[in-house]
């Protein structure tokens, strides 16, 4: 029994071989993912598969454990996957991504003349679309960093079996917005805009309304985070927003290296900490390691050794991942038996460091 590793571009295939037969495999895909403005090296787990005749023998578990060891060796900070219910939590993964779906009756959208032109997306618009994406998502937790070299475009729709239909909105020859519609479902899976502008937002909605009329689907859904400005703009048109918090399934994450993970969050912490009258050492302890921070006034500093501490947050790495992603709050996590805080005066500090957020992963990036 052995694990075979095969690199293919930005992905590595891990295969379990038993008596010369390949019985189970998965892929680890190399990504960069944001938590606030911090960029984490993220291993995306995809294509987990076991041959039918070899299922229920623990082979998938062996490959998953091997993938975690592989990501540790390769220097990943975190890992993410989109999982089936009640399986991946056994490997330290916890749900970190809610599902947001906004619904609009497109018949409520007014029709008005526009100076903009809408055409299908072409490769020549790639740079402009990436610049808009980066500006819209540069501090949004959960989003993937896209680059000209690695981003392959809109390769699929809301599911792997459907296609993405991307469009750009032009002012003259300049791309001022873009949107992507699923080829089968009445859903917008992504959109972006160069600047907050009522005319641009109205043009986006007007074009989507035309698609709705062509398909005879008056109600369209949008995969958008609630705090996205375009989402707020749509409130004037009787928007309905649904938020789901899956249990042990769907978008799940875990920490691979606690030291690099918290070190990379240091600048984010500095922007959030505010001013504290108390000074001391805060230790964040997990089952995969512990990291101290020196807190003085409005500064916070990562320390590469373990001094005597003033406060200690003891928390499983999976729940720390939920906390860092803003999926759960520190107050709610402290209700759990396996989460504890020594030094209650550190609670306001932790609230500042780990605010509740709207973590989001655009469907076009799902793997």
- Segments making up each domain of the chain, as ranges: 2-95+246-253, 100-244, 257-353
- The reported pLDDT for the residue numbered 353 is 97
pLDDT band at 61 (very low <50, low <70, confident <90, very high): very high
Least confident of 228-232, 273-277, 307-311: 273-277
At residue 191, the 3 state secondary structure works out as strand
> Taking 80 as the threshold, does the pLDDT of residue 113 lie above it?
no
- The reported pLDDT for the residue numbered 149 is 94
Q: Could you report the per-residue pLDDT of 188-222, keeping only the tens digit for each? A: 999 999 999 999 999 999 999 999 999 999 999 99
For residue 217, report the phi and psi dihedrals to the nearest 5 degrees.
-120, 90
- The reported pLDDT for the residue numbered 275 is 83
pLDDT band at 158 (very low <50, low <70, confident <90, very high): very high
> Taking 90 as the threshold, does the pLDDT of residue 305 lie above it?
no
> Taking 80 as the threshold, does the pLDDT of residue 312 lie above it?
yes
Instruction: Select from 255, 14, 13, 240 the least CA-distant residue to 2.
Output: 14
- 298-323 mean pLDDT: 94
- The reported pLDDT for the residue numbered 203 is 96
Percentage above 90 pLDDT, the chain: 94
76/255 Cα distance (integer angstroms): 9
Q: Which helix H or strand E contains 324, and what residues bound it?
A: helix 317-324
Q: Between 305 and 106, name the one with better pLDDT.
A: 106
CB 40 within 8 A of CB 78: yes
Architecture of domain 257-353: 2-Layer Sandwich (3.30)
- The reported pLDDT for the residue numbered 60 is 96
Percentage above 70 pLDDT, the chain: 100
- The reported pLDDT for the residue numbered 297 is 85
- 39-50 mean pLDDT: 97
Do 100-244 and 257-353 come out as alike in CATH topology?
A: no
pTM: 0.95
- 93-115 mean pLDDT: 93
Q: Residue 235 CB: number of other CB atoms within 10 A?
A: 10
CATH number of 100-244: 3.40.630.30
Q: Which residue's structure tokens are 């641009």? A: 200
The pair of three-digit structure tokens given for residue 171, joined into one six-digit string:
């002012």
Helical segments of 248-292, H only: 258-264, 266-272
In CATH, what class is 2-95+246-253?
Answer: alpha beta
> Taking 80 as the threshold, does the pLDDT of residue 112 lie above it?
no
- The reported pLDDT for the residue numbered 277 is 78
């Amino acid at each position: 029994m052995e694990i075979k590793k095969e690199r293919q571009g930005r992905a590595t295939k891990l295969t379990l071989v038993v008596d010369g037969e390949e019985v189970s495999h998965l892929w680890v895909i190399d990504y960069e993912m944001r938590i606030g403005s911090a960029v984490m090296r993220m291993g995306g787990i995809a294509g987990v598969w076991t041959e039918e005749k070899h299922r229920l023998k623990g082979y998938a578990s062996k490959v998953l454990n091997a993938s975690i060891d592989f990501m540790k060796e390769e220097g990943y900070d975190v890992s993410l996957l989109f999982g089936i219910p009640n399986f991946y939590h056994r490997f330290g993964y916890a749900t970190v991504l809610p599902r947001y779906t906004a619904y609009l009756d497109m018949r409520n959208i007014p029709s008005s003349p526009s100076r903009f032109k809408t055409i299908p997306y072409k490769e020549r618009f790639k740079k402009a679309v990436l610049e808009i994406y980066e500006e819209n998502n540069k501090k949004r937790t959960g989003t993937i960093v896209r680059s000209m070299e690695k981003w392959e475009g809109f390769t699929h729709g809301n599911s792997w079996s459907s296609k993405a239909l991307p469009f750009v909105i032009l002012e003259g020859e300049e791309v001022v917005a873009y949107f992507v519609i699923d080829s089968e479902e009445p859903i917008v899976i992504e959109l972006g805009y160069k600047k907050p502008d009522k005319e641009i937002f109205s043009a986006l909605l007007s074009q989507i309304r035309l698609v709705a009329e062509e398909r005879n689907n008056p109600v369209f859904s949008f995969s958008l985070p609630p705090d996205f400005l375009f989402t707020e703009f749509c409130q004037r048109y009787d928007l309905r927003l649904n938020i789901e918090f899956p249990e042990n399934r769907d978008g799940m994450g875990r920490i691979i290296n606690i030291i690099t993970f918290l070190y990379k969050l240091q600048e984010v912490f500095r922007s959030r900490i505010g001013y504290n009258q108390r000074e001391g050492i805060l230790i964040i302890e997990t089952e995969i390691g512990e990291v101290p921070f020196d807190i003085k006034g409005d500064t916070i500093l990562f320390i590469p050794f373990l001094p005597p501490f003033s406060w200690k947050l003891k928390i499983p790495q999976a729940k720390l991942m939920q906390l860092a992603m803003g999926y759960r709050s520190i107050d709610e996590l402290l209700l759990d038996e396996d989460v504890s805080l020594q030094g209650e005066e550190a609670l306001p500090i932790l609230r500042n460091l780990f605010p509740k957020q709207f973590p989001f992963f655009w469907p076009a990036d799902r793997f």
